[in-house]
A and B are shown apart, each in its own frame.
Chain A
Amino acid sequence: MIEKQADVVVIGGGIIGISLAYGLSKQNAKVLLIDKEDPLLTASRGNFGLVWVQSKGEGMPEYVEWCIEAADKWPQFSENLETETGIQLEYAKNGGLEIWLGDEEYNTRVNFIDKMRKQSRSGTYDCEMLKTKELQEMLPEIKLGEEVSGGSFCPHDGYVNPLNLVKAMHKGFKLSGGNYYSGQSVTNIEFLEPGFRIHTENNSYIAEKLVIAGGLVSKKLGKMVDIDVPVGPERGQVLVTERTKKILPFPATRIRQNFDGSFLFGNSNENVGYNIETTSEVMKKIAIRAIRTFPYLKNLQLIRSWSALRVLTPDRNPVYVESKTCPGAFAVTSHSGVSLASVHSSNLGEWIIEGSHQAKFEVFHPRRFDVPKTA
């Protein structure tokens, strides 16, 4: 058994892990990526592919700025990745549309956007409310349902094929000299002061730095290096239709149409523990909402469904943290892995290697969840 050595070991081959590994290897670090490939815990395979700003970060302005920075960087990131690997990402940034049914939803959204604009220090957060008539004008090829009261349009938003994104980054990682080891389950991490030895069932790896990006497993892994990663599962179910002619030019969190013409419908937010079944009740709810939005969709054939577990922190915002007692060990978690891929593969890598941007990421430290001690 040959022990493998690197500058950085990243644990977790999902979108967060591969974004970091890819970015780090492009910054000339020697990187090893180890991955268990657990079928229950692959959030990267069960996501909608949104590159999103519109609804994120209420109450945490720094996160909104981070999302906007990521969205701004995405077009160049996509172009570079496509050129480098030859894999089409099916990325588009034409803005994103959320569609609201009834007056209550509309008004709630008005208040939300107002709040978001107010908390945006740089003033760059841009999202406008559209009444039904204006909304319909943006969608000439598909008629809105009668209950539609309007929409919120955010020019920062876009979408991508998330499976191709992961595939491309894996290829890019390999091309940059990175090594990927799958079927590896971490059993133990030794802090070598400095550096780390990571043990899996049949192998061990030594690195100066360690990044834990194992999704829901990060909690257990974090404990091995004295990091608290407060994540828990939230299930989401998605329906996929047959391919049909392209009529929906903008994505939304509940409905979007892929490059190949198939429609995706979501979403659900369920607290059911570690369960990735699809259920008829939720599928029905999703279908009803989709038809209320666009009645035309009712004759589309559903051909498959999926269900996956989001990796959520208590406030749904990212956690970036370096271990205090085991410096050099980092944990990165976010349920916006796709949206943040452009910055995870650049800025975050710099933080891990050089320690730059540290102040910027302080706000994402998990200490923000600590309950204040009573006097």
Chain B
Amino acid sequence: MFRKLHKNSETIEIWFEGSSLDVEEGQTVAAALLSEGYLFFRNSKISGQPRAPYCMMGVCYECMLEIDGQSSQQSCLIPVREGMNIRRQN
């Protein structure tokens, strides 16, 4: 879905759904996951339809993920940190 315009500079390790990812520092969790090709972040609580980030600025709440054990965090606002453990919520 997305490509990077430059080479990865400093990378850190984060975990998404149990898989290890090397991502650039200084970007948000949502951006990091999109750059790694993950589009589906959650399922609608009403119909189960897959949802992906829409606004990237903390307005739409489609990017909510469980981060380091805490549910429903807006991943488009939170910068990645070494060792971060990210999961979808279902």
Interface of A is mostly: mixed
Q: Which residue of A lies closest to B46 (CB)?
A: A260
B42 to chain A, nearest CB (A): 11
Cβ–Cβ contact A299 & B45, under 8 A: no
Cβ–Cβ contact A260 & B45, under 8 A: yes
Q: Hey, which chain A residues are within 8 Å of B71, CB to CB?
A: 242, 244, 299-301
> Any chain B CB within 8 A of the CB of A73?
no
Number of interface residues of A (CB under 8 A): 9
Q: Hey, which chain B residues are within 8 Å of A303, CB to CB?
A: 72
Contact with A along B71-86 (1 / 0, CB 8 A): 1100000000000000
Q: For the side of the interface on B, what is the size category? A: under 10
- Cα of A303 to Cα of B70 in the assembled complex, Å: 14
- Which of B45, B70, B72 gathers the greatest number of chain A CB atoms within 10 Å? B72
Cβ–Cβ contact A243 & B45, under 8 A: yes
Cβ–Cβ contact A301 & B72, under 8 A: yes
- Cα of A299 to Cα of B89 in the assembled complex, Å: 14
A13 to chain B, nearest CB (A): 27
A27 to chain B, nearest CB (A): 37
Q: Which residue of B lies closest to A262 (CB)?
A: B45
> Any chain A CB within 8 A of the CB of B69?
yes
Q: Which residue of B lies closest to A261 (CB)?
A: B45
Q: Hey, which chain B residues are within 8 Å of A260, CB to CB?
A: 45
Q: Which of A303-320 contact B (CB under 8 A)?
A: 303
- Cα of A301 to Cα of B70 in the assembled complex, Å: 9
Q: Hey, which chain A residues are within 8 Å of B72, CB to CB?
A: 242, 301, 303
Q: Hey, which chain B residues are within 8 Å of A300, CB to CB?
A: 71
Q: Which of B41-64 contact A (CB under 8 A)?
A: 45
Ranked nearest first, the 6 interchain pairs of A and B with the lowest CB-CB distance are A301-B72, A242-B72, A243-B45, A299-B70, A301-B71, A299-B71
